Amino acid sequence: MGKGKLAKFADMRTFPNVFEPEISFKDDVPYEKKGCWNSSFFHNDNPIVLELGCGRGEYTVGLAQLNPNMNFIGIDIKGARMWTGAKLSLDSGLVNAAFLRTEIGLIDRCFAPGEVSGIWLTFPDPQMKKATKRLTSSWFLERYRNILKDGGEINLKTDSNFLYTYTTLLVDRNNLRSDVRINDLYASEITDSALNIQTYYEQQWRERGKTIKYIRFNLPAEGKLEEPDVEIELDDYRSYGRYKRSGLETSK
């Protein structure tokens, strides 16, 4: 039997690599580690990369193992899942991995401008009903700008054709630099070991025969971001609207 949620929450309060800031959308108060993650936790000047919506943290741990000269922070609001990666990180003796339990929309309260070098989005909910909830929407990209270095790299790995298509259209609409786009990762010849890390959810999707897609693009610090004004076919294996189409909303 797996460890219960309450026990996991209690564990994480003692984990030196887990942080649970008391911040909210209501109060505009920055987290105490904002601007000093390198000095106060990692104790080096290595680049910081975030995994947003890290779930069990497999990607955060995997990336940290592959890149000892970089620092990685997994971010999610669901602490019971995060416990798995945080515990594995401690047991593996990783000193370049940490976990932050907070809402993704609050990350600019937790990191200073230019403090983050890159972002990974691994199998986020495609949020087909509302554009502003998509982690690659202009609404979120504007928040990433508040913490990323100019031209910082964003990586999206997804099983969702909807989210992949939406993201490529948004990238093209805004003339963002994108040097890698793959609509069937495991049928491609790409050899990047970071793309071979598999999350629990990725394994599930692959077992169901779903192709895995990947896009990498750079986000400049300035320039207006616009939503693509295009209808995109919904993923037919999600829980609603098997053959419906949905017009994308403009972010607000």
Q: Which residues are catalytic?
A: 125
Do the Cβ atoms of 187 and 212 come closer than 8 Å?
no
Continuous H helices in the chain: 5-12, 37, 58-66, 79-91, 138-145, 161-173, 200-207
The two counts, helices (H) then strands (E), for the chain are: 7, 10
Alpha-carbon distance of 46 to 37, in angstroms, equals 10
Alpha-carbon distance of 109 to 14, in angstroms, equals 23
Q: Computed over its alpha carbons, how large is the radius of gyration of the chain?
A: 18
109 phi/psi in degrees, rounded to 5: -85, -15
Q: How far is CA 132 from CA 9, 70, 159, 189, 252, in A?
A: 30, 30, 20, 34, 7
Alpha-carbon distance of 252 to 243, in angstroms, equals 27
* CB neighbour list of residue 157: distance below 8 Å, 6 or more residues apart: 120, 121, 122, 123, 185, 195, 202, 212, 213, 214
